[in-house]
Chains A and B, each alone.
Chain A
Amino acid sequence: MAFHKINVTINNEREQVVVPSNMTLMQMLRESVALTGTKNGCSAGECGACTVMLNGEPVNSCMVLAVECDGAKIVTVEGLAGDRQLDPIQEAIIAAGGVQCGFCTPGILISSRALLDRNPDPSEEEIREGLVGNLCRCTGYMRIVEAVKKAAEIKMAATGVAAD
């Protein structure tokens, strides 16, 4: 097995990690740098629990090889919050009651944040479509959709963009 030394920026921290060729980004995050907030629900790119932001795009980290991430910027659930301040989507999902067992939550938060980054004012339909790759067995999704709507309002209020 060949090993590779890669440089990555994870949650604004620069890291140098040695990874075997067959290691996935999910394994690297969970096992090499012990960021266990990213969850392993299927290892097959089907459930979305391992979703992280890779260079600004949400990806299933179980479907990406770690070695491909040399030079990349990665944001995991641990990187969403500031030092003391939660991200609006984190605040909103708590307030909406959109968390139950919490296992899908990290992936949902990353997908939601990515959705809001590319579409600051999504319609309900767009939110539902945006979360279709993240399975949740507990909540019935409604409160999660509500949370994304609310987070969009909070963000727009903060940036001075008028919500319609």
Chain B
Amino acid sequence: MAQASVENTSTPVGESTPRIDAREKVTGAAIYTDDLQFGNALLHARIKRSPHPHAFIKKIDVTKAKALPGVKAVVTGADFSGYIGLYLQDRFIFCRDRVRYVGDPVAGVAAISEEIAQKALDLIDVEYEVLPPVLDPEFGVSPAAPVLHPDLAQYVVAGFIFPEAGTNISNHFKLRKGDVDSAWDKCAAIIERSYRIPHIQHVPLEPHIAISKVDEKGEVTLWTSSQSPFAQRNLIAQSLGLSQSDMRVISPTVGGGFGGKAGVSMESLAVAIAMKVKGHPVKLRLTREEEFYTAFVRQGLVAHFKMGCDASGRLLAMENRFYWDGGAYTEYGVNIARAAGYSCTGPYEVPNVKGDSYCVYTNHPVGGPMRGFGMPEMHAGLEQCMDELALQIGMDAVEFRKLNCLKTDSILATGGRMHPIGLDQCIEKVAEAIEWGRKAPPSAPNKRRGKGMAAMWKAPAMPPNAGSSAWVELAEDGKVNVGVGGQDLGQGAFTISAQMAAATLGVPYESVRVAAPVDTRYSPYEWQTVASRLTWSMGNAVVNATKDVRRQVLDLVAEAWNETPEDLNIVNGVVISYKSEKEIPLKNLVIYGLPKPDGSGWNGGPILGRGNFMPNDVTGLDAETGQDEHGVVHYTTGVQAVELEVDLDTGQIEIIKGVAAFDVGKAINPDMVKAQMEGGLVQGLSSALFEHLKLKDGFVQNPSFVDYRIATSTDIPREMKSIIVEVPQADGPWGARGVGEHSMVATLPAIANAIYDAIGIRFDGPPFTAEKVYLAMLDAGIVK
């Protein structure tokens, strides 16, 4: 009998199980933060924002605003003196003495309606002394630039971030490997290029929203759409002088994040205002316009590359300088500069490297994490240089990449060795899928066709000790409840948690649910849902917690049956013995235990498993050289290629085919891995062809969907192909590593390389709009 059950077993890991939250999302039943109902006590908040990119606040008069009927509280920076920030505590919740970008919060109002709160903003008088702004990162590092954070030396900062006090440099990451200066003479080809990558916005469909309530004891609840409930608990509590356990963050379904809902941005404003109106929930919801210029934006980048190879095409040297336009506060952005610094060679083995990555304060919107965390911006130029260098040395771009790409045990730019990696497989598979080397004729006489490829790498950028935890319990029916503190942003974190728990315990996928919403009071700790780290890190915690359950179950049954746990297994929710062929369903033992064999009482009790995971071998990187054994946990690598057509009459680019291959170690849910590859490719396409937060004198010129265009259903490739490569990650669950962010990193340079293939033109930065392409073709004499 037991044998029959075994034959029916299949593990849900590696299966494309349907999303665990799909049904509630298609019926309108899924609850997002703005859907929560708070009744009549609810107050609405609006924020008075700086109209200047840089100014001293001389005086704020809130008397008239406070007197407006319906206004319950008006707060300013004078009410909250604590700094806040993830890696560098460089901002106040409300500005105190100085504003540093257009949109910087100066005052907050809570009122009985949004209209009254908005009206009250106009009644707040703020007197400014306007200061000269910094609007370019290279100007920002020059001695001529005004210093935007004179207190930089006093800010609390993470040990691996290196601010330069008295300047606008909030982090300078240095990479020094080999001897670059003497390597240039040995190069047969050298390329030197500069690129400007504009700011863009994450554009989650759900705008930022936070509701906060402070009770009479001073305990705080924050309901918010968040990638980082635990980091928000920690940072907001610290800034407001609260104990972390007195702060509770509840995060319902998240309507897209892409990094923008990581760390802390507007959530602290809602909490600060709520502290002045105890007992009332206070709701702050960003308008779409505010979303564009007051939420995190993706930092701008000015990048200078110099690289060379020998006559055989082997890369010999790179000298790269990155100036990140970090914006007014770089509390999170400093680590983007770091990540780009240690990854500055791209996925290639280069013996001599000099890299400098500067995070620079400017009077632009606040730069923060966005899908790829510096990698899309950095690879945008790097991967075009690779094509140019290949061309110059007379090699095919694919062969050039195959020759130079990282292989297992290659020496990394940071000095350590590469773990097992399938990048060369990715290159080959993508080249085959895009039919590299075969030039198809254009679809019309007024079109030119081209193909382009780009490779990428990205490590989770995080502190060395970012941890995950999980719990697992079972109900009377034997079904499983998995507690996680990581968030499902749409990427499928809850689904793969259920798959891993089901596979580890030996129950069907359908028997597992995930305890949502994430609530810091009940959910286990998770650092943040960022860095494409959940499948790997949280996945390990889920596996460990489920193994804990499994061990307790098997020990209990072994004792009851007088057998050894090694002879037992759990199959389809039934504990079976291979020795005695006995069986017992989990539901008969997970709550009430089992009677002792001698009848003298009961063993066991409600089963509860716990598990955690934290990397324990990350060494950090030397401050002067960026060298060390194990600076990051791992790298996910991959390749994308596109085939496109340029319309000679309009300059419009149509992406005909997009191909991607990523080495994900192991696809826990292959369909969802492919869905990440497709969604990332289209987001990358969108950033390449359309997106650009237009900044003029510090003002965002296009804060709406009309003026800031993102890809629609009519812009996507006619065909997309996603290829999974699986070279296992030694410490990943089933060998898995992350892929969520990676899927947009190589898209832009692949498109740029394809544009060059089609019309022979390169640009110093995106977006490659029809207008820009057409004018360039006019300049080049391709069209008249």
Binding site for B on A (CB under 8 A): 30, 34-44, 46-47, 49, 76-78, 80-81, 86, 90, 93-95, 97, 99-106, 109, 127-129, 131-145
* Nearest-neighbor residue (CB-CB) of B717 within chain A: A142
Residues of A within 8 A of B682 (CB): 139-142
CB-nearest residue of chain A to B285: A40
Q: CA–CA, A103 to B720, complex, Å?
A: 23
Q: Given the known A-B contacts A86-B26, A101-B205, are A39 and B678 also in contact in the complex, defined by CB atoms under 8 Å?
A: no
The answer to whether A39 touches B27 (Cβ under 8 A) is: no
A residues in contact with B713, CB < 8 Å: 127-129, 131-132, 134, 136, 141, 144-145
Question: Of A41, A95, A101, A142, which contacts B678 at CB under 8 A?
Answer: A142
Q: Which residue of A lies closest to B18 (CB)?
A: A94
If A99-B22, A128-B713 touch, whether A137 touches B28 (CB-CB below 8 Å) is no
B residues near A137, Cβ cutoff 8 Å: 202-205, 256, 258, 679, 683, 710
- Could you list 5 A-B pairs, sorted by A, with CB under 8 Å? A76-B28, A86-B26, A90-B27, A99-B22, A137-B204
* Stretch in B29-37, B140-148, B390-398 touching the partner: B29-37
Contact between chains at A140 and B679 (CB < 8 Å): yes
Choose among B34, B256, B714 the residue that contacts A138 (Cβ–Cβ < 8 A). Answer: B256
Cβ A109 vs Cβ B256 within 8 A: no
List, in ascending order, chain A residues with CB within 8 A of B63's CB.
none
- Given A100-B491, A143-B678, A145-B713: A94 touches B31 (CB 8 Å cut-off): no
13 further A-B contacts with Cβ under 8 Å, apart from A36-B34, A78-B28, A139-B675, are A36-B31, A39-B32, A39-B205, A80-B27, A86-B27, A103-B204, A129-B714, A132-B713, A137-B202, A137-B203, A137-B258, A141-B713, A142-B682
Chain A residues in 8 Å Cβ range of B253: 101-102
Contacts of B711 in A (CB 8 A): 141
B19 touches A101 (CB 8 A): no
CA distance A90 to B30 in the complex (A): 14
Asked if A94 contacts B681 (CB within 8 A), the reply is: no
Task: Determine if A46 and B18 form an interchain contact, defined as CB atoms under 8 angstroms apart.
Answer: no
A46 to B672, CA, bound (A): 28
Complex interface residues of chain B between 76 and 91 (CB less than 8 A to chain A) = none
Q: Is B26 within 8 A of A103, CB to CB?
A: no
Q: Given contacts A34-B37, A105-B26, A132-B712, is CB(A97)–CB(B205) below 8 Å?
A: no
Given contacts A81-B27, A129-B714, is CB(A43)–CB(B288) below 8 Å?
A: yes
* Residues of chain B contacted by A39 (CB below 8 angstroms): 32, 205-206, 255
Task: Please tell me if the beta carbons of B205 and A104 are within 8 angstroms of each other in the complex.
Answer: yes
Complex Cα gap A140–B677 (Å): 9
Residues on B with beta carbons closer than 8 Å to the beta carbon of A104: 205
Question: Would B678 and A99 count as touching, CB distance under 8 A?
Answer: no
- How distant is the Cα of A106 from the Cα of B489 in the complex, in angstroms? 17
B582 contacts A by Cβ under 8 Å: no
B178 within 8 A of A: no
How far is B671's CA from A121's CA once the two chains are assembled, in angstroms?
Answer: 26
Chain B residues whose CB sits within 8 angstroms of the CB of A139 once the complex forms: 675, 678-679, 682
If A39-B255, A40-B34, A41-B207 touch, whether A143 touches B21 (CB-CB below 8 Å) is: no
Of chain A, the residue at the smallest CB distance from B492 is A100
Q: Give the interface centre of A47, A132, A138 by most chain B CB atoms within 10 Å.
A: A138
- Hey, which chain A residues are within 8 Å of B288, CB to CB? 41-44, 46-47
Closest approach, in angstroms, between the C-beta of B222 and any C-beta of chain A?
20
Contact with A along B241-284 (1 / 0, CB 8 A): 00000000000011111100000000000000000000000000
Instruction: Give a binary string over B382-412; 1 marks a CB under 8 Å from any A CB, 0 the rest.
Output: 0000000000000000000000000000000
A102 to B35, CA, bound (A): 14
Nearest Cβ distance between residue A61 and chain B, in whole angstroms? 13
Find out whether the CB atom of B720 lies under 8 angstroms from the CB atom of A140.
Answer: yes
For B22, what are the chain A residues with a Cβ–Cβ distance below 8 Å? 94, 99
- Interface of chain B: mostly helix, strand, loop or mixed: loop
Interface string of B34-61 (1 = CB under 8 A from A): 1101000000000000000000000000
| Chain A residues with CB under 8 A of B255 | 39, 101-103
Interface of A is mostly: loop
Q: Does B551 contact A (CB under 8 A)?
A: no
Q: Which residue of the partner chain A has the closest CB to B28?
A: A37
Q: Do residues B27 and A37 form an inter-chain contact, with CB atoms below 8 A? A: yes
Within 8 A of A (CB), among B632-685: 671-672, 674-675, 678-683
Residues of A within 8 A of B16 (CB): 97
Q: Determine how close the nearest CB of chain B comes to the CB of A89; give it in whole angstroms.
A: 8
How distant is the Cα of A43 from the Cα of B207 in the complex, in angstroms? Answer: 11
Tell me if A78 and B27 are in contact (CB < 8 A).
Answer: yes
User: Which residues of B sit under 8 angstroms from A37, Cβ to Cβ?
Assistant: 27-29
Closest to A42 in B: B288
> Which B residues touch A106, using CB under 8 A?
28
Q: How far is the CA of A103 from the CA of B288 in the complex (A)?
A: 15
The proximity string for B residues 449-460 relative to A, scoring 1 for CB distances below 8 Å and 0 otherwise, is: 000000000000
Residues of B within 8 A of A128 (CB): 713-714, 716
Q: How many Å from the CB of A85 to the closest CB on chain B?
A: 11
> Across the two chains, which residue of chain A brings its CB closest to B205?
A103
Say whether B206 contacts A101, CB under 8 Å: yes
Output the least CB separation between B190 and chain A (Å).
38
Q: Is the CB of B23 within 8 A of A77?
A: no
Contacts of B675 in A (CB 8 A): 97, 100, 139-140, 143
Q: Which of B311-347 contact A (CB under 8 A)?
A: none
Query: Which chain A positions have C-beta within 8 A of B287?
Result: 43
B578 in the interface (beta carbon within 8 A) = no
B490 within 8 A of A: yes
Q: Across the interface, do A101 and B490 meet the contact criterion of CB distance under 8 Å?
A: yes
Indicate whether B25 reaches chain A with its CB closer than 8 angstroms.
Answer: yes
Min CB distance, A80 to chain B, in Å?
A: 7
Give Cα A6–Cα B705 distance, bound, in whole angstroms: 32
A12, chain B: closest CB distance, angstroms: 15
Distance (Å) between the CB of B65 and the closest chain A CB?
Answer: 22
Q: Is B564 positioned at the interface, with any CB of A under 8 Å from its CB?
A: no
| CB < 8 Å neighbour of A103 from B19, B32, B672, B680 | B32
Most buried by B among A99, A104, A131: A99
- Name the one of B28, B32, B716 contacting A77, with C-beta atoms under 8 angstroms: B28
With A43-B287, A140-B683, A142-B720 as contacts: A94 and B23 at CB distance below 8 Å: yes
Within 8 A of A (CB), among B669-726: 671-672, 674-675, 678-683, 704-706, 710-714, 716, 720
Contacts of B257 in A (CB 8 A): 101
A106 to B30, CA, bound (A): 10
Enumerate chain A residues within 8 angstroms of B679, measured Cβ to Cβ: 100, 137-140
Nearest to B716 among chain A residues (CB) is: A141
Contact among A36, A80, A138, A140 for B716, CB-based, below 8 A? A140
Q: Which residue of A lies closest to B204 (CB)?
A: A137
**Smallest CB separation, B278 vs chain A (Å):** 25
Residue of A nearest to B24 (CB): A102
Q: What residues of chain A lie closer than 8 Å to B712, measured between beta carbons?
A: 131-133, 135, 141
Q: Across the two chains, which residue of chain B brings its CB closest to A87?
A: B26
Closest to A145 in B: B713
| In the complex, chain A residues whose CB is within 8 Å of the CB of B490 | 99-102, 138
Most chain B C-beta atoms within 10 Å of own C-beta, residue among A44, A46, A95, A142: A142
Complex Cα gap A22–B627 (Å): 62
A119 to chain B, nearest CB (A): 15
Q: CA separation between A117 and B492, bound complex, in Å?
A: 31
B537 to chain A, nearest CB (A): 21
Residues on B with beta carbons closer than 8 Å to the beta carbon of A109: 26
Once the chains are docked, how many angstroms separate the CA of A79 from the CA of B29?
A: 11
* Closest residue on chain A to residue B21 by CB atoms: A102
A126 to chain B, nearest CB (A): 11
- List chain A residues, Cβ under 8 A from B21: 102
Q: How far is the CA of A44 from the CA of B21 in the complex (A)?
A: 29
A99 to B28 alpha-carbon distance, docked (Å):
12
Q: Which residue of A lies closest to B488 (CB)?
A: A101
Distance of A124 Cα from B675 Cα, bound (Å): 19
Task: Give the distance to chain B from A139, nearest Cβ to Cβ, in Å.
Answer: 5
Say whether B206 contacts A41, CB under 8 Å. yes
Whether B205 pairs with A47 at a CB distance below 8 angstroms is yes
Q: How far is the CB of A149 from chain B (nearest CB, A)?
A: 13
